[in-house]
Structure 1
């Protein structure tokens, strides 16, 4: 039998090794680390690998349709090729390749019956190509060009600061949903062929213009998951966005946008076609307070307004507002507390169609509010540099505003988990 003097050094060495590994796991920037130096070496040579996971669990505690829980997840893997580093080219540009996979079930569809997705990562439950693009500056450093197969929402329609993704509901996280609900606008992971141009008018002002193919049959269609070319083009959507970024002690970001979709679509409540759909939006992220005694602690206020085509969009207006507190506690420099309110307004034409259908069927139409409303409170706990845990509470008012169903207000408890590979 081995003596205690032989066991103790081996045991101590094993404990020291495991402790070192645990410490490294808690402090590294990504879950998989530097791959023994290979990842950094490839990055220096011009090949950068990225990956992340998000899982969202939502439990309907009161109201809605059913008491139960639903889980959805999103897995994204990408690689970027810096052609300047790889081939020694001057301003060679970058190629981005991204693959996405989504699985799970919807709390909104199964448990609550509301329009604004409770889990922002639900939808398109299959593996797909989400980006194959080429980007470079052109003629001058102030002009940036990007073209290929990509989602419009990657570059337009959202706040660059990322403040809105301190929430779990898709009504806040990302972009106003009536853009994609009432035109050919596409948000991640739906991608189409297009081109985007950014031009720096000054250090504070930037103009963004793009043009994307509109192909509604490819959205959420698993048979088109790896097809870059359109199948049934209906038109082109052209967004124009003016961006202003305020610097200083209280920084801010302001976006004013307009888009036009040339597609012909059916007018709501009529058999006639309407030519062209358009919309406009205003997005704001403004710091309103920073701590003089604790670096990094600040309070930001955000606002969203978006309006779409009255003739053809079932989702006519969106209003959103809220606040996010960064570094809520001295010992938690990367945590956040977020509180938001949103109001999604159905198109009155859609309500008239529902009322007429109910009358024709001899069914009483419920007395509903004019909009679905959302109140959301979340806490972003940065467990490690690569892992975020976000407990979340959502209160949904008038969940049946879009469906025309009389559904009780719902209280939803959630947890979002995000990990960077």
Structure 2
């Protein structure tokens, strides 16, 4: 049995990756439990397993005392000195008490305990391995799917992809090889649970790192990603080297680099924008491809909000289809964005003059009239002009 046990432990370490020391520790614990249960012995027993020979031995550990009250736990100083004159009171001595039929009983009793320890060790190995890939991209194979999840094999573990992390335009079929973003790794009771995603903004960042060497080595940095998975994303980049154009480098020659990311994400559009220290410039870049005339900030508002002025003919482009362009720009910059056409801002400026401003302009106009005998200029807009329809759009950053 001993030879077979050693071979089994070696095979377990080779095939399952479970270290022999872990299994031996579990085996010794199981054998100790088996001995106590089957032989009704005291708790002061130790079981050792020889990893080279495969021999199993049971020892009763007794304390050296001047007077023995329990022979199962104690040994007299006289008897101890008969074994070795160096023993003193308080020392512990091991006495071998291995039963002849212990091998059979131990094997039966310890089997379940050993298998449990082996499963735990395997789970720990898998968790340690895959927790290193959290927030990274892995290549997987679609195994199956149901109403809630798509199950993706990543090798030693089957990851799950919830519906919220699945691309609406993609149809996942068995045996399809796909790239997934490892969003979370949990060490659950039943074993490691890996959650993967195709919609996480982090996936866009990792894909660009794979396609753009300058991003991978840190020459170009991705500052932020705002994404509506499967439809459109905005990626803000900046360069740590003044001689490197961050946007051009990310886009690549003839758009080859960004196109590779677009192809991987089933045609999802990518807007690459230049990150700026100045918030107004950053917001203007984020609203690309729309032209921005000016960005005004509301200093009295505690929230980060800005009013963006665009040419009338650019209003629809700035807002985007169903407000998407403005919404993504808000997510990317972290500002609540209110987009207004140039014509409306002109009317608002005139109408929102304070009483003091009106009085001052009226006084100036009156003085001019006295000096020149001309009619004072009217400081209010015509009534007909105020009937123009308003066209504004609000975009508030969210945590989506």
- What's the TM-score once normalised by structure 1's chain length? 0.25
Between Structure 1 and Structure 2, the one with more strand by share is: 1
Q: Decide which structure has the larger Cα Rg and report it.
A: 2
Between Structure 1 and Structure 2, the one with more helix by share is: 2
